[in-house]
Amino acid sequence: MKKKIIYITLNFLLILILFQCSIETNKNIVSDNIKGMIVHFIDVGQGDSILIQVNSKNLLIDSGPSTSKDKLLKYINSLKISKFDYIIATHPHEDHIGNMSYIIDNFEVLNFYAPKISSNTKAFETMIESLVMKDLKIKVLKPNIKSIDLGENTKVDVFSPISNEYENINNFSSIIKISYGNNSFLFTGDSEELSEKEVLSKGYDLKSDVLKIGHHGSSSSTSKRFLDAVDPYIAVISAGKDNSYGHPSQEVLSRLKDLPIYRTDLDGNILIKSDGYSLK
């Protein structure tokens, strides 16, 4: 994979500090006088939770584990969010849907998406109960759906899951590309190499500026072939500090050695803003 250079200013740290100051003063980052798309990779420990804000719309991908509830809610509430236009549960593992029930119960949710897979875990069952109480139907995530609309200058492509049956639930994870202008982000949930191969076989345009590394940097994800197809400028890893799984693996880190890598276990909350042309 050829080494690339992206426009990331030397003041990136200062920008993060400014964002954090805005959060601490409860200033809503998405407002009428702020243009562009902001992607928040929220530090929820060993799990995933990603918030996309664009065109005054909020899209939440996963909600982290239940152990991170207070941290997640503090972050969301600091942005004065009361409504989610879209929520996506990439797959029914607790570290991705642990707080979904609370989110559904306490926020206005307009659209809820998930792959067609169930689980007998408490997190999944309470999520379903909350959806029923709110009379919200699950819209099935599958390739080529066109119903996720984030407004002007944006495009949402869903690439997986391709099959209806997997032995490993991780492979039901939705691989989603969100483009804003000339910039693009690829979100992978916990997709493993089997799912990556299926997506590659379909010939989808995976090329993206930012790649959310699959399965917290596990060695079973982010194969070289998949990484070459995405060919990102930036890699983001969501993992818990000193987690018992050893995520991210050294094998994956070695594949990413030519890229800037941002990690929630080391860097905390990570914010990337796009103006449609460059990333900060």
Residues in the chain with pLDDT values less than 50: 1-34
pLDDT of residue 35: 80
> How large is the angle between the packed helices 69-78 and 12-24, nearest 10 degrees?
90
On whether the CB atoms of residues 84 and 56 are closer than 8 A, the answer is no
CATH topology of domain 38-267: Metallo-beta-lactamase; Chain A (3.60.15)
Record the pTM: 0.87
Q: What is the Cα–Cα distance from 78 to 259, expressed in whole angstroms?
A: 31
Summarised one tens digit per residue, pLDDT across range 71-111 is 999 999 999 999 999 999 999 999 999 999 999 999 999 99
Domain range summary for the chain, segments of one domain joined by +: 38-267
Q: How far is CA 265 from CA 12, 32, 232, in A?
A: 18, 32, 21
pLDDT of residue 144: 87
Question: Which tokens is 241 given?
Answer: 């500090």
pLDDT of residue 84: 98
Q: What is the Cα–Cα distance from 250 to 69, expressed in whole angstroms?
A: 29
Angle at 20 between CA 16 and CA 26, to 5 degrees: 145
pLDDT of residue 17: 36
What end-to-end distance do the CA atoms of the chain give, in Å? 23
